[in-house]
Structure 1
Amino acid sequence: MGWEYGIRTTESAILPEVVKRLASALTFTDMYILERFSNGFVLKREDPSWPRALEVWMEEASGLEEIVDGDSYIYCLFHIWGEEARSWMHQMEQETRQFDGGLIWFEL
């Protein structure tokens, strides 16, 4: 699999807005398409053998050390590696710094 991260906060009510702003903060080339859902988004690419490049979802914790079971958090799965994925992560990290509510990234 790729890189897996979570984003937690003590104010879970802000998570839907965080997800929307994370999607809006990403810059990517024409070979990608951003597909939005009510609880997250997927960045897809035109490669049928590996179509998903990035997934971001609001989820409920279960069995994680960093979060109490049942608490909400944002799950980020980078299916690809390299400069492109690092750039997206950096863009998303910068966007989370704009929020009050103590958003904290953690590795899964």
Structure 2
Amino acid sequence: MIRHLARQLFVIFALSLGFASLPALADNAKAQLETPKVMLRISADGKAIVDESGKEVARFNKDVKVNPMMNVSDRLPGCMRCQPECVVYEGERCVKWIRSCTWDFDCK
């Protein structure tokens, strides 16, 4: 009888802990679904690709230089979508993250 009661109390306690963490899990899942969009453009010197704030994202190899045409936007069509991706786990906890990005031509 005492074992049965102890088992029920343990189950109730475990369930209460599980339900208490559901909002945190829902917020985490929502954050992973909403990936930020990064608009890219050609740098002023034509030797790199920069983001909206002017930070260099990529540099062209050696002597490659992009000369934009007059009256044409230097903004690249589409946008880059990035999201965090765990690459090293310790048990069930992530200890090493990288930013994984894909190019989206529609950017919607």
TM-score w.r.t. structure 1 length? 0.23
Q: Which has the larger radius of gyration?
A: 2
TM-score w.r.t. structure 2 length? 0.23
